[in-house]
Structure 1
Amino acid sequence: MPHPSGRPAGLTATELVTAYAAGDLSPVDVLRDVVAVIETREPELNAFWHLDLDTAEAAARASEARWGRGEPAGPVDGVPVTVKENLARAGVPMPAGNAGVEPVVPVRSSPVVERIEEAGGVILGSTVMPDWGMLSSGVSSLHGITRSPWDPALTTGGSSSGAGAAAAGGYGPLHVGTDIGGSIRLPGTWLGLTTLKPSAGRVPLDAPYLGRAAGPLTRSARDAALLLSVISRPDPRDWTSLPPEDLGTVLAPEPGEVRGLRVGLQLDAGCGLPLEAEVRRAVEAAASVFEAGGAEVVPLAPFMTPRMLHDLDEFWRLRSLADFDALSPEARERVLPFIQRWVLAVRDVDGTSALRDYASIMALQQATVAATEPFDLVLSPVAPVAAFAAERPMPWGEDDLGMAHIGFTAPYNMSGQPAASVNCGFTADGRTIGLQVSGRRFDDVGVLRAVDWYEHHRPADASPCWPIPAVEQGMPVATAGPAEPLATDGRGGRA
């Protein structure tokens, strides 16, 4: 199935694997085409912290040989992949998007990276993030500004900003981000992607933390399921990980049904920014598609309170304040000014208040599970607003409104429930709008099946036509000989 761009870089992972098996495409040719896209777009998009094209080409050549023997290493053998910079790769510095940090250089790769490599995935490099991952944008004191492939004037969202830009821009089909309050799904809504924040413990981490998850940013539910089947394999380093589950056949060849499902529709988060009218209409239209498919759609009242949102924000500020205080005075000045102000605002908060914040988060867990338990799925906006200017650290700019934009996403981090994003429409000026699809605890499969069904039934005017550069007339998709490496800055990062 050719992509409208006319190039392999626009194909999904499932399409690539099918083409490899048939001998219609080579992993080396696909890598070279992806590299051509990166060379064209990366100076503007700024998605990569660390590119490893020599290593990627060696992996692609090894994959090509395995496919030639009919012995692929795993379900993503030969498929280009990126990972967020806070997912450890042996020998690659991890600065957490922060110019004030002395980067840790890991000696062992994270579980996510090891699983991808074992399955034959071709890792292109590590993608950028904002300072400590605590912004919902692509603004970083270290990396500068990461921009949307749809419109470079617009944000990618964050904190999986580089992963989102890479996914929408055609840097291969599979990308892994992390999410503690919306950091996978927010780039999803503002870039039109299909993403999944998996159930807590579904994807092993080497640094598990309350609410944190790693998951796929892709252009289709089938690719998200494919990548999840790889990165969810267990690892003893994560003491919170779930028992193994066979996710290799998550999605049947034909999309399933939603008939008979009880679906909640939440249009009021109960806190934070008001819902924009265009976002509301798009989500309501998506709910109508589910209803037409035979699902019972029932309104769901808000269950998160302004106090819960305040306490969660304060808890995160205190955590980052500890990291900030560990820096030298000179290093603190290199931290993004917005983050400096954000952490210093809780300088006088005491330990008793911190424990109350934690108790409030536990109450949010309980409220989320109780409110959503009657439903097979819950539909909602991902964010109350559409994409904003790339230079803004937060949707509203430089003001301190806490975490006023994550009222729909953060509850599912705290409860550990799976939650996906999928594009459900566009604003009048062409900005993408994401639908959040969440499920009961541990039902990642049910969420992915519902998103896959929706992708096959949503109206054409809600389906993205990806902003991947078309092949120029007369330009070959792949060339013989080694791919030319991109320029680097001497430390493995972008020039």
Structure 2
Amino acid sequence: MFELHQLTATQLLNGYRNKTFSPSDVAKALTAHIARVEPRINALYAYSPEPFLATAEASSARWAKGEVLGALDGVPVTLKELIATEGDPIPMGTGLGDQSPAKADAPPAARLHEDNALLLGKTTCPDFGMLSSGLSSFHGLTRNPWDLNCNTGGSSSGAGAAAAAGFGPVHIGTDIGGSVRLPAAWCGVVGFKPTLGRIPIDPYYVGRCAGPMVRCVEDAALVMPTLSRTDRRDAMRLPPETINWQDLSLDLSGLRIGVMMEAGCGLALEAEIEAAVSQAAKLLEARGAILVPVAPVLNREMLDGLDRFWQARQQSELEKLDDQSRQRVLPAISQWANGAAKASAVEAVTGFQQIMAMRRASEAVFDQVDFVISPTTPNVAFPAEWASPTNDPARPFDHIVYTVPWNMGEQPAISLNAGFSQEGMPIGVQLIGPRFADHGVLKLAYQLETALALPMRWPALITAAE
């Protein structure tokens, strides 16, 4: 039997309908669990149990009266600290610069409030959201619940840790190069990056998406009708579309699945990941899919060009700070961004053009196949204290090679757990579809999740903390 804090959002709503338990029951169990575990993983920011418990009581009253308001009424959620919530500062992982409270909810927060989801709190991220790590100069170190000596990845580091640790069923992260899918893979949960603009976000930027981090594909589908409602603040949003997100049925017969085992550059793929992804592909083949080997869409020139452009972008942010504040930024960020000081404007623009090259290559692959399966990460784990899997400011993006092309190409992509390494760390598998095929990606992910049939497994430290 699972504890209340371990239930999925779908299971919670079924329990509320059947009057098996109430949102207040869940909130009390959840806050007690967090009190035991949070000191060990440091996943939360702006967490205050009292308001959360009060909103749960109000939701319980609505359920008792049969006056439910919204599709997520009573479902606990967290938001990455980069997603504005009215009245809260946005530390950007550093606590530097203007720390005035946000004047309004960003679109994902607004949509969740409209459907009466229960905001548990915010989750941590590294400095400026520019590291795939749980390391932050403001929040401190967020640790992976599967092994406290291992990193969560990032930049949705707190969201990944919170999802893995059972801090409620739904966590919303952001992803510009893999920041939802990478921590989802390293923390053993589901992370969905939709087509750019499917979930409105503010501020918007090239490749920047918001997406759910949950423990099952069904929950990702559950929150999509809420998160995908339109918001004019996002000038890159998609037009509204009626989609039956909860329909996850899919006939795989004849479906062409491209197997992209090589990334084209970056870190070498570890053998345990290759074996897990190969096995996942074979499970899809057993259900009727046709496997087609496909070449990488990324190369070194593309990755280095993106690196140069992002250096210039980050350096422009650092120059807004005074000298004393800049000294407080993590060295991994400041040393890396300082490379832009030696680059010309032409080099920065040339780097940006590699985004267009990435976009062209990533979309062209779908001339051959319907979907793509690949690893999410090249490595199984890395030390908690490292700024990235290389821990080298000169090689900051060698680990995002399987994820970043789909941000720049704007395709939907999802990571789900494909099993565990010999040392007990999660392994992620990624599924990608052509632009706008978000529903299809969720359907395929559900079929793979069902075929994998992995038993629900919780980190040992969570069991010990109980």
Same fold (TM over 0.5): yes
Give me the CA root mean square deviation: 1.5
Tell me if the contact between 1:154 and 1:387 (Cα under 8 Å) persists in the aligned partners.
yes
Match of 2:363 in 1: 369
Match of 2:241 in 1: 245
Tell me if the contact between 1:99 and 1:334 (Cα under 8 Å) persists in the aligned partners.
no
CA deviation vs aligned residue, 1:324-362 (integer Å, no higher than 9, x gap) = 011000000000011110111221111111111111111
How far is 1:257 from its partner?
3.1
Tell me if the contact between 1:257 and 1:453 (Cα under 8 Å) persists in the aligned partners.
no
Tell me if the contact between 1:421 and 1:437 (Cα under 8 Å) persists in the aligned partners.
yes
- Where does structure 2 lack aligned partners over 5 or more consecutive residues? none
Task: Please give the residue correspondences for 1:294-305 in structure 2 after superposition, counting only pairs within 5 Å.
Answer: 294-305=288-299
Does residue 426 in structure 1 map to residue 416 in structure 2? Answer: no
Q: 1:285 to 1:82 in 2, by over 3 A?
A: same
Equivalent of 1:314, from 301, 305, 308? 308
Task: Please give the residue correspondences for 1:326-405 in structure 2 after superposition, counting only pairs within 5 Å.
Answer: 326-405=320-399
Separation in 2, partners of 1:172, 1:99 = 26
Q: 1:471 to 1:270 in 2, by over 3 A?
A: closer
Tell me if the contact between 2:36 and 2:465 (Cα under 8 Å) persists in the aligned partners.
no
Aligned residue pair count: 465
Separation in 1, partners of 2:368, 2:421 = 32
1:345 counterpart SS class? helix
- More deviation in 396-405 or 59-68? 396-405
Separation in 2, partners of 1:102, 1:46 = 24
Match of 2:113 in 1: 117
Match of 1:12 in 2: 8
Equivalent of 2:131, from 131, 135, 143? 135
Match of 2:61 in 1: 65
Does residue 188 in structure 1 map to residue 184 in structure 2? Answer: yes
- More deviation in 364-373 or 87-96? 364-373
TM-score by length of 2: 0.97
Tell me if the contact between 1:392 and 1:398 (Cα under 8 Å) persists in the aligned partners.
no
- More deviation in 105-114 or 57-66? 57-66
Separation in 1, partners of 2:425, 2:53 = 35
Does residue 466 in structure 1 map to residue 466 in structure 2? Answer: no
Match of 1:56 in 2: 52
CA deviation vs aligned residue, 1:29-74 (integer Å, no higher than 9, x gap) = 1011111111011111101111132221222112111111222212
One-letter amino acid of the counterpart of residue 294, structure 1: G
Equivalent of 2:160, from 135, 145, 164? 164
2:341 counterpart SS class? coil
- Provide the identity percentage: 43
Separation in 1, partners of 2:155, 2:393 = 18
How far is 1:470 from its partner?
5.1
CA deviation vs aligned residue, 1:396-448 (integer Å, no higher than 9, x gap) = 22452131111110010011110000111211111111000010101110011
How far is 1:276 from its partner?
0.8
CA deviation vs aligned residue, 1:296-329 (integer Å, no higher than 9, x gap) = 0100111211000001111111111001011000
- Where does structure 1 lack aligned partners over 5 or more consecutive residues? 474-495
Separation in 2, partners of 1:57, 1:137 = 31
Tell me if the contact between 2:390 and 2:396 (Cα under 8 Å) persists in the aligned partners.
no
Equivalent of 1:222, from 218, 221, 228? 218
One-letter amino acid of the counterpart of residue 148, structure 1: N
Match of 1:484 in 2: none
2:184 counterpart SS class? helix
How far is 1:245 from its partner?
2.2
What stretches of structure 1 move > 4 A for 4+ residues in a row?
A: 470-473
Separation in 2, partners of 1:335, 1:57 = 35
How far is 1:459 from its partner?
4.8
Tell me if the contact between 1:63 and 1:77 (Cα under 8 Å) persists in the aligned partners.
yes
Separation in 2, partners of 1:258, 1:194 = 21
One-letter amino acid of the counterpart of residue 377, structure 2: A
Equivalent of 2:228, from 208, 229, 232? 232
Match of 1:177 in 2: 173
